[in-house]
């Protein structure tokens, strides 16, 4: 049996896990990222949490084939340098060189969304596909693209920023500085904004007492209120799904993948999200008359996708 370490480097937590060749996670360990702080300190903790995970798995570092890292930002998988990560304040950080010296193992690195997409490709909802796209609907909208079994990163390793295609010219301001981005409308943050806007327009909506009971306006609020018959909530959900369908249709029209995986908390809504979404995409997609169309599925690996994908980055680079 072969074993690998996957590291999921996030703005809040540094997570590491030992994964075997059958994609089973044998152990996990995590520490707080505690940003902002020097990159060397963060990488020291990445090495430490890796060793913790290996120890918890009951094996030794000598049993590990390699270490893979999924990180926010522009990760040059060729040089092993994190060229830029605004979340971590990284500029030209030689991560592969540093960690390989620390751990005594080959180290591979890629963008975290790419790693998550690769995880779904090798072990999740896109397993068996040749071409796949993964879209994660979180605080932002993350994207990962697999073409002929390989991660597509663009010529400058900054590709697959699917959340930053514009779907509403001069629309809502996005965190990237553009207006009308897919992310501004289809992320959890965008859904919350649209929910609050609808509440402000309709003071009689049951979303008000429901939000007070929860203590905040959440991404689930509009869906939950819609189920109770609230008209304003249904308008929010319909608007959200319409924007989501627009962005997904653009992605399908561009890549025509075998599978498009959707991840993120909003996907827990199930059929009230998926059924109308698929109907809209089917009507709008350019390939509607094709004998083979993209299958839209819910991601299977959840929060483990990035960790499993990172663990197998060595395969992604050797294929």
Tens place of pLDDT for every residue, the chain, 319 residues? Answer: 999 999 999 988 999 999 999 999 999 999 999 999 999 999 999 999 999 999 999 999 999 999 999 999 999 999 999 999 988 999 999 999 999 999 999 999 999 999 999 999 999 999 999 999 999 998 889 899 999 999 999 999 988 999 999 999 999 999 889 999 999 999 999 999 999 999 999 999 999 999 999 899 999 999 999 999 999 999 999 999 999 999 999 999 999 999 999 998 899 899 999 999 999 999 999 988 888 899 999 999 988 999 999 999 999 865 4
The answer to whether residues 148 and 251 belong to one domain is: yes
Considering the domain architecture, whether residues 278 and 163 belong to the same structural domain is answered as yes
* Whether 85 and 192 share a structural domain: no
Same domain, 114 and 190: no
* E-only strand ranges, 73-131: 74-76, 81-85, 90-93, 107-111
What is the model's pLDDT at position 317? 66
Distances (CA, A) of 299 to 69, 70, 224, 247: 20, 18, 22, 17
Nearest to residue 161, comparing CAs of 130, 124, 136, 125?
136
Residue 92: other Cβ atoms inside 10 A: 11
Residues 89 and 234 in one domain: no
Same domain for 236 and 161, yes or no, is yes
| Count: domains in the chain | 2
**Looking at residue 257, which CATH number applies to its domain?**
3.30.420.40
* CB 100, CB 7: distance < 8 Å: no
pLDDT at position 291? 83
Residues 204 and 89 in one domain: no
**Are 22 and 74 part of one and the same domain?**
yes
Q: Do 150 and 93 share a domain, yes or no?
A: no
Q: Which domain holds residue 92?
A: 3-122+304-318
Tokens at residue 63, please? 């049993």
Predicted local distance difference test score (pLDDT) of residue 265: 87
**Same domain, residue pair 134 and 220:** yes
Alpha-carbon dihedral sign for residues 167, 285, 150, 118: positive
Clarify whether residues 213 and 245 are in a common domain. Answer: yes
């Amino acid at each position: 049996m072969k074993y690998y370490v996957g590291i999921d480097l996030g703005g809040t937590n540094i997570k590491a896990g030992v994964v075997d060749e059958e994609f089973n996670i044998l152990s996990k360990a995590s520490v707080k990222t505690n940003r902002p702080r020097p990159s060397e300190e963060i990488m020291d903790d990445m090495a430490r949490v890796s060793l913790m995970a290996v120890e918890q798995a009951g094996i030794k570092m000598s049993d590990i084939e390699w270490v893979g890292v999924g990180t926010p930002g522009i990760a040059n998988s060729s040089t092993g340098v994190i060229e830029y990560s605004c979340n971590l304040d990284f500029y030209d950080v030689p991560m592969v060189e540093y960690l390989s010296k620390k751990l005594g193992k080959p180290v591979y690195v890629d963008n975290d969304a790419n790693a998550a997409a690769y995880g779904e490709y090798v072990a999740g909802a896109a397993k068996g596909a040749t071409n796949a796209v993964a879209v994660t609907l979180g605080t932002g909208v993350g994207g990962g693209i697999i073409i002929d079994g390989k991660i597509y990163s663009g010529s400058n390793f900054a590709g697959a920023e699917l959340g930053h295609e514009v779907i509403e010219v001069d629309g809502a301001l996005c965190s990237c500085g553009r207006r009308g981005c897919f992310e501004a409308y289809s992320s959890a943050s965008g859904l919350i904004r649209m929910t609050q806007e609808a509440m402000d327009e309709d003071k009689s909506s049951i979303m008000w007492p429901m939000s007070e009971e929860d203590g905040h306006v959440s991404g689930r609020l509009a869906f939950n209120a819609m189920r109770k018959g609230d008209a304003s909530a249904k308008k929010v959900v319909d608007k959200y799904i319409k924007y989501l369908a627009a962005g997904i249709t653009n992605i399908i029209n561009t890549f025509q993948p075998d599978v498009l995986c959707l991840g993120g908390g909003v996907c827990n809504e199930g059929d009230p999200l998926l059924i109308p979404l698929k109907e809209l995409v089917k009507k709008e997609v350019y390939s509607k008359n094709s004998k083979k169309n993209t299958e839209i599925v819910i991601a299977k690996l959840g929060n483990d996708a990035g960790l499993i994908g990172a663990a197998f980055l060595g395969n992604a680079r050797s294929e």
